[in-house]
A and B are shown apart, each in its own frame.
Chain A
Amino acid sequence: MNRALAATFIYLGASGVAYTAPLSHDITVGYVQVADDPRYDDQQGPAETVISPPRPLPGAEMAVDEVNIDATVSGRTYTLDHQDADGDDTLAATIDSMATKGVHWFVIDADDDAMEKLAKAERGKDVMLFNISARGDALRGPSCQPELLDVIPSRAMLADALAQFLLARKWPRVLVLRGPLPQDKADAEAFDHAAERFGLTIAATRDFIVSNDPRHRDQDNVALLTGDASYDIVYIADNDGTFARTLPYATIYPRPVIGAIGLVPTAWSWTWERYGAPQVSHRFKKRTGHDMDATAWAAWLAVRALDDALRESKAASTQDVDTYLVGPKMNIDGAKGPPLSFRAWDHQLRQPILLTTPDATIADAPMPGFLHQTNVLDTLGYDKPETKCKF
């Protein structure tokens, strides 16, 4: 009934936060993904299996069903409006057209490049975007935007979690193997930053390629890549995963492998058994038939965070809700232990990082003993004094 009202925007100024809209009882959450997102391409796996990472959409769908349970208390009912943009270039247009119909909050599944372009295009507009799958540090740094909230952990947070773990285990000397993709370079760069921050020693950094060409044996031969250096552990940056898959047990010295395989840092895993996590994972698996991964968790959390802000802020406008979302009172239950909230300086969701194998969560960072003057979760990722984000 209030839909018409919600769509009536009051124009306030020329740039910056320019709009505000009174809140409706019915909240439509936009969900936009890119149809040809290469991250979800079917990939041929071992033994003719197809490895196709699942889209995170069911996480948002599950959260919408869940937040509708407390409708009598929150005073809201939620609907998910899911649309596919054809490609990166039409992402902003898709969102703009939904925004003109009164959608203000969007859950966005897009890669780093697409997300950067989108957030830039939406600057100053009447939207708030939840990034659930782009991990790039630039989005939380030089390319940050006031209309962007990063639910998925940044590369820096994932790398910091590994670095804390290695220090806690007293395995400080690391051999870094780096793949050819830009994302591999970005992962390795984040790991370098973490190593410096926490005082690990990088024994050597070596680039690998997937090849059988003897002329490139220094880059495709595991024995050569892992020999002639003194280290406790191998860190591999490999977003494709083909090389990493057979690296454990193939290193020339008996050393564990971490990063893209072995011990993997992540926002979520079905192996995480504490703080009500199994219930969240069970509900997700029940409706999808597959395990909840980090991006599905982030999609779920985005909608839950929005409901929290709407319910607790008792705000009268979208703008007030957005202020509350990035404010100090947010206290989101992410089933990861401590309450979660967004960092005011870069809009990254502060959260524990799980360090997982295919069978178990081995540890959750921040590791014990890593302290911080205000919130130990801020030992992961760029802290306030280090941020390169200027809104």
Chain B
Amino acid sequence: MRKATIIAGLVALATPAFAGTNHIFVSNEKGNGLTVLDAADYTTVRQIKTGARPRGMVFSPDHKLLYVACGGVNRIDIVDVAAMKVVGRIGHIDDPETFDLDKKGERLFISNEDAGELSIYDLATKKLLKSIKVGLEPEGVLLNADDSKVYVASEGSNLVSVIDTATDKRTDIGTDTRPRRFAMTPDGKELWVSTELAGRVDVIDVATNKVVSHVDFLPPGMRKEDVSPVALVIDKAGTTAFVTLGRANHVGVVDVKSHKVTDYILVGSRPWGIAFDKDQKRLFVANGASDDVSIIDAASHKVRKSVPVGHYPYGVAIDE
């Protein structure tokens, strides 16, 4: 912990705009807390106790705070990243799971699975600003680069809703079965959404709001119904995407330009959350059903290490 503080201090001197702690935060859905790993040697730095069922995590734009959706207690816990403890909370949010923050860190956009709504909270006052009806069981939430649009995936209605953040006008896009999470290509032209029960990623053309292409996943020796894509990341160069395939226990590697699968990486059991480190050399994958995190070398697609964390790891957030 002291070491972490020192590292943070050094980084602060070198790059005053962004002081990372070199810590990896893993939310443990059934462990009711976060496991903090050292990003260099992967030792456990601390276990942070949170509200029940911590899942989605998003950093504030300055990385000083980490917001954690605690579905079991209907609130968002706010973790001080440097101090590694819960310092605040936003309560009375219906079963929160995944969410996004606007670029200024002023508003939090969250899906309410039971209510079928997108809710927007003011982070300064911690008050609900408004709720907007979407489809059934909304899950993934993503704001675009200038916060003018928010995308919500409703897994129970096979819909992606596009909401204009200025007017609240909603446009629906039909997707394949059970849309879950998003990734946007760096040029902002393509929105990728995982469709869990279709075993694929739908590619939405942002300009026309239409599904224009699919990426189908089928690791060797597996059947379509064993493949349940969930989380996905696209690298900053916009060349390669990595998609966790849930029950298939693999991560799919996709060429972003051609929408073709180029490789499959065997990880732990039921991989869900996935995150790049800062220089995009490593990927961290939370394996929900084997209680560990796989660390993948992004260039060679080799799993370098598996690190035990808490019970049912769900997501990974990296502060570097």
A74–B156 Cα distance when bound, in Å, is 14
What residue of chain A has the Cβ atom nearest to residue B114's Cβ?
A: A282
Are A66 and B173 in contact, with the CB atoms below 8 A? no
Q: Which of A72, A280, A339 contacts B198 (CB 8 A)?
A: A339
Which of B113, B114, B137, B157 is close to A70, meaning CB atoms less than 8 Å apart?
A: B157
Min CB distance A70 to B, Å, is 5
- Interface status of A279 (Cβ within 8 A of chain B): yes
- Judged by a CB distance under 8 angstroms, whether B54 is at the interface is no
B227 to chain A, nearest CB (A): 10
Instruction: Tell me the bound Cα distance from A119 to B165 in angstroms.
Output: 52
Check: B174 CB closer than 8 A to any chain A CB.
Answer: yes
A375 touches B (CB below 8 Å): yes
Q: Which residues of A contact B116 (CB under 8 A)?
A: 69
Q: In the complex, which of the residues A276, A308, A339, A375 contacts B156, with contact meaning CB atoms closer than 8 Å?
A: A276
Contact flag A283-B157 (CB < 8 Å), given A73-B172, A375-B223: no
- Please determine whether B197 and A339 come into contact, CB atoms closer than 8 angstroms: yes
A333 in contact (CB, < 8 A): yes
The yes or no answer to B51 lying at the interface (CB within 8 A) is no
* A66 touching B157 in the complex, CB below 8 Å, given contacts A339-B197, A375-B223: yes
Give chain A nearest CB distance to B146 CB in angstroms: 25
Contact yes or no, B157 A331, CB < 8 A? no
The complex places the Cα of A339 from the Cα of B227 at a distance, in Å, of 11
A45 CB-CB contact with B under 8 Å: no
Residues of A within 8 A of B197 (CB): 331, 333, 338-339
B135 interfacial by beta-carbon distance below 8 Å: yes
Q: Is the interface of B mostly helix, strand, loop or mixed?
A: loop
B177 within 8 A of A: yes
CB-defined interface of B288-319 with A at 8 Å, one 1/0 digit per residue?
Answer: 00000000000000000000000000000000
Contact indicator per residue, chain B 129-145, by CB within 8 Å of chain A (1) or not (0): 00000011100000000
Measured between beta carbons, the chain B residues less than 8 angstroms from A279 are: 113-114, 136-137, 156
Residue of A66, A73, A282, A377 with most chain B CB atoms under a 10 A cut-off:
A73
Within 8 A of B (CB), among A360-376: 375-376
- For residue B100, CB closer than 8 A to chain A, the reply is no
Contact status B225-A338, CB under 8 Å: yes
Q: Is the CB of A283 within 8 A of B114?
A: yes
Name A's B-contacting residues (CB within 8 A).
66, 69-70, 72-74, 276, 279-280, 282-283, 308, 311, 331-333, 338-339, 375-377
A–B pairs, 19, beta carbons within 8 Å: A70-B157, A70-B158, A70-B172, A70-B174, A73-B159, A73-B173, A276-B178, A279-B136, A280-B156, A331-B176, A331-B177, A333-B155, A333-B156, A333-B158, A333-B197, A338-B197, A339-B177, A339-B197, A377-B225
